[in-house]
A and B are shown apart, each in its own frame.
Chain A
Amino acid sequence: MAWPQIKKLRWRLTLWYGSTFAIVLLVHIGLATFLHYRQLLQQFNHAEIQELKTAEGLLYQTADGQVRIRDDYFNHPQLRLSLDRLLQVMRPDGAILYQNHRLHGTPLGGAPLAREGVNSYRHTMVRLSDGRIVIMVSHVHVMNGMPVLIRLGYDMEPLYASVARFIFWLLLLAPFSILVTGYAVYRATSGALRPLSLMTQRARQINAEKLNQRLPVIDAEDDLGQLSIEFNQLLARLDDAFTQLKRFTSDASHELRTPLASLRSIGEVGLQTKKTGQEYRDIVASMLEEVSRLTSLVDSLLVIARSDSGMIHPEKSVVSYLAMMQEVQELVGILAEEKQQSIEIAGDASLRICVDRGLLRQVLINVLENAIKYSPAGTRIRIDLQRLPEDVVELCVHDQGPGIPEEEKTRIFDRFRRIDDGRSRERGGAGLGLSIAKWATEINGGTIGVRDEPEQGSCFYVAFPEVITAKNV
């Protein structure tokens, strides 16, 4: 069934686009969150160093050697996120000289590491004993000739909270975006595929009886429109082939019917009254004549059927066109002699063509027999062979017959086509000779046709590409 198939296609496309979009979106969110975190961290680090430098300037030693900080200046944090700065000053041996009150007595980091903060600002992440995670910067400062290690830290909590909010909003929006995209894709796909459903519906109505129907072309420019056009051309070709086949079948059965009808009547009439032995012999003989007509008709039909199904493959060889014509003239020339017709052949025997000998013979026999058959007694049949431009060799059979009306010139090569039906049937043949000749010419790469003679009669021409051999160059 076509309909569910198409629906499935829409859903498949939607699902495919949707999931791709979702994956891209998630990667995007992840990356954005990471960059946001990195940037905040950098801001923290930068702010810490600035504040640490400030703190250095604000540290002083009381008379009893206590370290203090002037905290009146300290109320303007650079970073709104980190109000919670923690400060601890230590001696290099680890003794704590000063802690600000926000530490609530918890030590900021453990014992000093070797060379911690010497000539540098060292950033570390520490976890305080009360569970707070702190990003901490250490620096060694010389106060009154005494080195002290200053550690300044920010609670990471606000940073984490900011990142969490960031990712929360993005993730909250993500399903919505995905749904919107999916819907848009579904709508777009449905729209794009609508011609396809129309085509499907129409296609379902087309069968052997209704080959004249065509698929709708909604937009000739797009892919589906192109598909429709191609499909319609295919249908047109099928339609032609079917029509031809139908005509051929009906013509063939008509042609078969004629000898069958004679057979039947001759037999029935023969049995009506009692007859002499000789009369019966005549009846049987007459029936046999009809049988041989039937046989040759069936043989021709078989040739046509086999040619139509591509079962005949020409076995080509290089032959002298003139020699072939002479051979054929020798064979059927006797028919012309009976009608006191003369046959003249002129041409260059070195003109060669590459064809299947048997098939070419068939063509030439048919064309020459045709000329003899339709020319009045005592006339002349002139055959000439000449080289045309573009390396084509053309054989012309000129007769002095009645000529062929313009509208019949191509149709005489159709199957079962005869001009002036009754008369030519009398002369034998079912009108298949020229159509077989046409097929045999074309399968050998040649062309066949008929032209008017300037004065009277017609000229059948059979042309093939010339084979240039070393000899005649």
Chain B
Amino acid sequence: MHVLLVDDEKKFALALKQGLEEEGYSVEVVFSGEAALRALEHGVPDLVLLDIMLPRRSGLSILHELRRDGMHVPVLLLTALHTVEDRVHGLDAGADDYLVKPFAFPELLARIRALLRRPSVVPQSLLEYADLYLDRSSHSATRNGIALDLTSREFDLLEYLMVNHERVVSREMLARDVWQETSRYTSLDNVIDVQIARLRRKIDDAFESKLLRTVRGVGFVLRED
């Protein structure tokens, strides 16, 4: 998978490049809009990560030009502009997704996966990871054959972690996808931490091998040893 990253913030861009390469993507980094257009002439990547506030030419004008030339490559905007109008603006200009800086790296990975996965597959009704089973249709979960008594929020949380198993999910991702909290300034971190602690009690406490881990400073992950 080839990713073109356009950002004039060199330190940030190179860090992202390294992170993405560790995840198995091949990444080309350019630091200006003009360089991005030149790179696009050489070959269309599978995905473009585009900063909006670039020197001289804004990311939005690059995006316009790209879409005008009939390029349908998925574009994920990365920007510090975070009002609703900014989002609408970006998506109207032809972006496929929009991520506000500073973001959690796992979230960027999740978004990239989502963009590259489209068109998406039908969700399975039965999820399985290690000795955890989750049945979406009957709303039930078991571990090692023992039924887990989960509240509906805990069920959603476990489902999300299982779908993203072995991938770190950030608190922001959980707030948005599990709690459906859209407002960025409603911090649910406390609530999420408590909820995770409870879920852990239910799925891990009684078992020898622990699955739900906290990645300090980043988020949570469902992973076997």
Residues of A within 8 A of B (CB): 281-282, 284-289, 291-292, 295-296, 299-300, 302-303, 306, 311, 331-332, 334-335, 337-338, 358, 361-362, 365, 369, 428, 436
Main secondary structure of the interface of A (DSSP, over half): helix
A449, B198: Cα distance in complex, Å: 34
> In the complex, are the beta carbons of B83 and A306 less than 8 A apart?
yes
A338, B188: Cα distance in complex, Å: 15
Question: Would you give the shortest CB distance from A330 to chain B, in whole angstroms?
Answer: 9
- Checking B183, B189, B195, B218 against A288 with a beta-carbon cut-off of 8 angstroms, the contacting residue is B218
Which residues of A are found within 8 Å of B183, using beta-carbon distances?
A: 358, 361-362
Given A291-B102, A299-B185, A362-B183, A285-B190 contact (CB < 8 Å): no
> In the complex, are the beta carbons of B179 and A331 less than 8 A apart?
yes
Which residues of B are found within 8 Å of A286, using beta-carbon distances?
A: 216-217
> In the complex, are the beta carbons of B216 and A335 less than 8 A apart?
no
Which residues of B are found within 8 Å of A362, using beta-carbon distances?
A: 183, 185-186
Closest B residue by C-beta to A427 = B190
Within 8 Å of chain A (Cβ to Cβ): is B194? yes
A311, B195: Cα distance in complex, Å: 34
Within 8 Å of chain A (Cβ to Cβ): is B72? no
> In the complex, are the beta carbons of B190 and A369 less than 8 A apart?
yes
A361, B179: Cα distance in complex, Å: 14
Beyond A296-B187, A335-B190, 11 additional pairs, beta carbon < 8 A: A286-B216, A286-B217, A288-B216, A288-B218, A296-B189, A306-B83, A331-B191, A335-B194, A361-B186, A362-B183, A362-B186
Residues of B within 8 A of A (CB): 82-83, 102, 171, 179, 182-191, 194-195, 197-198, 215-218
Which residues of A are found within 8 Å of B184, using beta-carbon distances?
A: 299
Question: Would you give the shortest CB distance from A466 to chain B, in whole angstroms?
Answer: 26
Which residues of A are found within 8 Å of B218, using beta-carbon distances?
A: 285, 288
A-B contact pairs, 7 of them (CB 8 A): A284-B217, A289-B216, A292-B171, A302-B185, A331-B188, A334-B194, A436-B185
Question: Would you give the shortest CB distance from A115 to chain B, in whole angstroms?
Answer: 99
Given A295-B102, A299-B184, A362-B183, A332-B217 contact (CB < 8 Å): no
Main secondary structure of the interface of B (DSSP, over half): loop
A246, B171: Cα distance in complex, Å: 34
Closest B residue by C-beta to A301 = B185
A337, B82: Cα distance in complex, Å: 34
Closest B residue by C-beta to A365 = B186
Which residues of B are found within 8 Å of A303, using beta-carbon distances?
A: 185
> In the complex, are the beta carbons of B216 and A285 less than 8 A apart?
yes
> In the complex, are the beta carbons of B185 and A300 less than 8 A apart?
yes
Would you list the 9 A-B pairs with minimal beta carbon distance, nearest first?
Answer: A288-B217, A285-B216, A285-B217, A289-B217, A303-B185, A299-B185, A334-B194, A338-B194, A296-B187
**A281, A361, A365 pick with most chain B CB within 10 angstroms:** A365
> In the complex, are the beta carbons of A335 and B187 less than 8 A apart?
no
Closest A residue by C-beta to B101 = A295
Which residues of A are found within 8 Å of B186, using beta-carbon distances?
A: 361-362, 365
A311, B194: Cα distance in complex, Å: 34
A3, B218: Cα distance in complex, Å: 65
Question: Would you give the shortest CB distance from B72 to chain A, in whole angstroms?
Answer: 33
Closest A residue by C-beta to B82 = A302
Question: Would you give the shortest CB distance from A437 to chain B, in whole angstroms?
Answer: 12
Which residues of A are found within 8 Å of B215, using beta-carbon distances?
A: 285
> In the complex, are the beta carbons of B179 and A292 less than 8 A apart?
no
> In the complex, are the beta carbons of A428 and B216 less than 8 A apart?
no
Which residues of A are found within 8 Å of B217, using beta-carbon distances?
A: 284-289, 291-292
A292, B194: Cα distance in complex, Å: 18
A443, B173: Cα distance in complex, Å: 30
Question: Would you give the shortest CB distance from B9 to chain A, in whole angstroms?
Answer: 16
Question: Would you give the shortest CB distance from B109 to chain A, in whole angstroms?
Answer: 16
A377, B182: Cα distance in complex, Å: 30
